[in-house]
Amino acid sequence: MSDVKSAASPSASPLYLRDEELKEGVELLFRAFLEIFGQREEMGEVLGRAHRRALYIIARHPGINVAGLLGILKITKQSLARVLNDLLAHGYVERRASVRDGRMRQLSLTSKGAALENALWEAQRPHLVQAFKEAGPDAVAGFRRVLSGLAERAAGTKSPGTA
Amino acid sequence: MSDVKSAASPSASPLYLRDEELKEGVELLFRAFLEIFGQREEMGEVLGRAHRRALYIIARHPGINVAGLLGILKITKQSLARVLNDLLAHGYVERRASVRDGRMRQLSLTSKGAALENALWEAQRPHLVQAFKEAGPDAVAGFRRVLSGLAERAAGTKSPGTA
DNA sequence: ATAATTAGTCAGCATGTCTGACGTAAAATC
DNA sequence: GATTTTACGTCAGACATGCTGACTAATTAT
C-alpha cells in the first residue's frame, strides 16, 4: 500500500496524485453531492432525502425485500422503518409477503409512487445531462471509474456503524 | 418506470446519457460520498463530520474569517457556531481579531489542530490515492470535469419549494 | 451620532442517523 | 412437534447537523 509515500515527493507522486489535487477532488465530491442530494423538499410532500433515496432504489429494484434495501441503503433497520412507513402511508410503496418465503416483504412502487419517482427524476435529469454532456463521454467514463474505486473501499475499512 | 420520454430516444441521447447510465452515476456519487464522508468518529474525539469539514477548510485557508468560512461551507452562522465553538473548546482552532478590521475574527489551526488535520488526512489519503491511481490520470481528469459541472449548478435552479 | 458590517448567542424545530430491546411470523432443523 | 434461525416490525431514547428568528456587542463607515 505504500507505493505512494508522502505525496509531496515529486518522484513517487505524479501531479494528479498530489495532496492538493486529492483534496480538491474531495471538495468537489462534497459539493457535487450537496447539489444532487442536498435538495430540500422538491417533493412538495413531507418526504425528505431518505424517502427519495428509498423510492429510487425500489424503483430500480422492483420486488426487493427489506434486507436487500437495507444492504443498498446501508442504514439501520430502524432508520429505514420510519422512511418506509412514511412511503407506505402516503401510498407510494406497496408491501406484500413473498409467496416463496412468507417472512419476506416484497417492496414495489404503486403507480402513484412511480409517478412521483418519475417526476423527481425528470426534475433532476436536466442538470445531470448538462453536466455529463458538457464533460463528454470520456470524462464521464473517468468519472465512473474513479467513483467506482472510491465507492468500493477495498478492505471494507468500514461500513456505517463500524466505529 | 414504463414511459420515460426523452432519454430513451437514441438520436437525442447517446449511450452515456441514457437514464440508466445517469442513474448509475447518481448511485455511484452517493456511494462514493458515503465512503469518503460517512466515516464516524475516526477522530477519537467528539468531533463529527461537520467539525472535520470546518477543520479542513481552515487548514486550507489559514486566517480565513467567519464570513469566508460560511461562504465555503454554505451553512448558517448558527450551525457553524456550534461546530466552531467545539473546535475552539478542544483547542484545535485559534480565533483572533484582525488588525485591519477589529470586527473580523481570523481563524487558524493550532498546532494541535494541524496535527489532527494531518492525521485525518493521512488516514484518508491512501484510499484516495489508490482509487485515483487505479483509474489513471485521464479518468481523474474526467472525474473532476464531471463533478465540477455537477457542483456548479449554474444559478438557482431551485429555491426551497421548487415543486 | 447614526448606520452598516461582522460576529456571537439564545431558543426552538426538523431530519436523519444511531443503539438497544422486544415482538411476531415463517422457515429450517432436529 | 419443538426448537432455533431468519426476516421483519416497532417502541424508546439519543445524537449530529442542519434550519429560522430574534436578539446583543463590537467595530467601522458615513
pLDDT tops 70 at residue B14: yes
B25 part of a folded domain: no
pLDDT of A163 reads 27
A117-121, A137-141, B67-71, B94-98: least confidently modelled range: A117-121
CB atoms within 10 A of CB A41: 16
pLDDT of A11 reads 53
> What are the angstrom distances between the C-alpha of B66 and each of B35, B73, B90, B155?
29, 10, 18, 24
A8 part of a folded domain: no
Chain A residues touching residue B160 (CB < 8 angstroms): 40-41
Q: Nearest nucleotide, C1' to the C-alpha of A48? A: C15
Confidence band of B44 (pLDDT split at 50, 70, 90): low
pLDDT of B2 reads 42
Average pLDDT, chain B: 84
B107 part of a folded domain: yes
Q: Residue A105 has which C-alpha cell?
A: 416483504
CB atoms within 10 A of CB B163: 10
B33 part of a folded domain: no
pLDDT tops 60 at residue A36: yes
pLDDT of B162 reads 30
B1 part of a folded domain: no
A6 part of a folded domain: no
- What CATH number has the domain bearing residue A106? 1.10.10.10
| Protein CA B35 to sugar C1' C24 (Å) | 35
Contact partners, residue A127, CB within 8 Å, separation at least 6: A35, A36, B150, B153, B157
Pairing of strands B64-65, B105-109: antiparallel
pLDDT in tens, A68-127: 999 888 899 999 999 999 999 999 999 999 999 999 999 999 999 999 999 888 888 999
Q: Pick the residue of A144, A157, A162 with the most B CBs within 10 A to test the interface with B by mutation.
A: A144
Query: Can you give the residue range of the structural domain that contains B66?
Result: 44-147
d(CA A6, CA B156) in angstroms, rounded, equals: 40
pLDDT of A160 reads 38
A29 part of a folded domain: yes
A46 part of a folded domain: yes
Report, in ranges, which bases of strand C sit under 7 Å from a protein C-beta.
5-12, 15-21, 25-28
How many interface pairs between A and B have CB atoms less than 8 angstroms apart? 218
Interchain pair A36, B150: CB under 8 A = yes
d(CA A108, CA A163) in angstroms, rounded, equals: 33
Which secondary-structure segment (H or E) carries A109? strand A105-109
Dmax (CA) of chain A = 61
Are A147 and B132 within 8 A, CB to CB? no
Domain total for chain B? 1
